[in-house]
Amino acid sequence: MLHMKRNSPMNDRRLFLEHSLLTAFTAAVESGRPDVAEHLLCAMECLCGDVVEGSTLEVAYRVICGNSFKA
């Protein structure tokens, strides 16, 4: 994976994208749209890589654990 400096513009755009995906993912979960949420989660997994404590991907997994999807 490409390493980015902490305060670089590239890192800022990546963090913005992560948070935007998380916001959309949470909205999809709360709206009862597991089909949409699944696609957004896949995008976050591609973008974020491994789950790290405090990462947006960890937050997304916690959203899943805190909500049950309607079948």
pLDDT at 32: 95
Model confidence over 25-47: pLDDT tens digits? Answer: 999 999 999 999 999 999 999 99
Residue 14 has pLDDT above 70, yes or no: yes
CA atoms in the 13 A half-sphere facing the CB of 34: 6
pTM: 0.76
Model confidence at 3, in pLDDT bands (50, 70, 90)? Answer: very low
pLDDT at 7: 66
